Amino acid sequence: MRFRVEPMRIEHIPAVGTIERRCFTQPWPSNAYRKEIQSNRMAHYFVVRRVDEQSPNGVESGTLAPVTAVAASSASPTSISGDDGLLGRLARLFRGPTEDEPSTAIEAQLPRIAGYAGLWLMTDEAHVTTIAVDPEYQGHGIGELLLLGLLDRAKQIGARKLTLEVRVTNHVAQALYRKYTFKEMGRRPRYYSDNGEDALVMWTDPIDSETFQRALRANREILARKLEEHE
């Protein structure tokens, strides 16, 4: 299986809503995602889509052009996209579709959405608003691929740091965040109304710090290998 990070589009929202309901006890209504991508200028949302079918000439189905902004920061895979090696292959995961992709092609892709994530840029802080992987796809690097997409976008749009809230009991998500220098910097008591659970408030090291950049480089490389093994 091959996966690619792409900007979230209206056509993806039904699949996003399905994953949302599978992953969260307090799901956002689907129109919240519609508003986010249509009218919130602070918002940046992505999906991960399966692109594992090959056309006869070896080009992946779904039409691909080297577009998405995810790959456009200096630390992003764009800067290594000429490389035929491991990192170059990872770069291809971050390329997006052309804007005029036919809707029939999009409809055919709906079951292929494996996860999604988003952030808001507020001044120079990137707030991760959500990240989720369909349970069917969890544990194979998709969540990490999405987080890398957010980190690349955050750098590209001028964020200095990233922050998020996570349930104190959500050890899986916390482990993912810690790999990318997120640390617990505070706690919001009884933040989640369904069970009164506290939220941890986590922040990364500065994006331009050596610790952050080192974590990004090392983890990106390891993830590329992992995803390649599953192709």
Ligand X SMILES: CC(C)(COP(=O)(O)OP(=O)(O)OC[C@H]1O[C@@H](n2cnc3c(N)ncnc32)[C@H](O)[C@@H]1OP(=O)(O)O)[C@@H](O)C(=O)NCCC(=O)NCCS
Residue in 1, 10, 172, 185 binding ligand X, rule: CB under 6 A: 172
Residue 193 CB, shortest distance to ligand X, in Å, is 15
* Residue 141 touching ligand X (CB under 6 A): yes
Q: How many CB atoms lie within 10 A of CB 151?
A: 28
Assess 142 for contact with ligand X (CB under 6 A): yes
Is 62 a binding residue for ligand X by CB under 6 A? The answer is no
Contact positions with ligand X (CB under 6 A) in 174-213:
175-176, 179
* Closest CB 191 distance from ligand X, rounded Å: 11
- How many C-beta atoms lie closer than 10 Å to residue 128's C-beta? 23
Residue 25 Cβ vs ligand X, minimum distance, rounded to whole Å: 10
191 is catalytic: no
CA distance 192 to 139: 25
Distance CA 189, CA 208 (A): 31
Q: Is 143 in the site for ligand X (CB under 6 A)?
A: yes
Long-range pairs of 106-111 with CB within 8 A, sequence gap ≥ 24: 106/9, 106/11, 106/12, 107/11, 109/49, 109/50, 109/62, 110/11, 110/12, 110/14, 110/15, 111/15
Q: Report the residue from 133, 200, 224, 227 that binds ligand X according to the rule CB under 6 A.
A: 133
Q: Which of 85, 139, 189, 196: binder of ligand X (CB under 6 A)?
A: 139
Q: Which of 91, 126, 131, 150 binds ligand X (CB under 6 A)?
A: 131
140 scored as a contact of ligand X (CB under 6 A): yes
Q: Give the orientation angle of helix 86-93 with respect to helix 210-229, to 10 degrees.
A: 90
Is residue 16 a contact point for ligand X (CB under 6 A)?
Answer: no
By CB neighbour count within 10 A (0-12 exposed, 13-18 middle, 19+ buried), where does 165 fall? Answer: middle
User: Distance between CA 231 and CA 229 in Å, rounded?
Assistant: 6
- Annotated catalytic residue within 60, 165, 184, 197: 165
Nearer to ligand X, 134 or 205 (CB): 134
Among 159, 173, 207, 227, binds ligand X (CB under 6 A): 173
Least spacing, CB of residue 171 vs ligand X, in Å: 6
Which of 18, 30, 61, 170 forms a contact with ligand X (CB under 6 A)?
170
Catalytic annotation present for 116: no
Residue ranges in contact with ligand X by CB under 6 A: 23, 131-133, 138-144, 166, 170, 172-173, 175-176, 179
- Catalytic annotation, residues: 165, 177
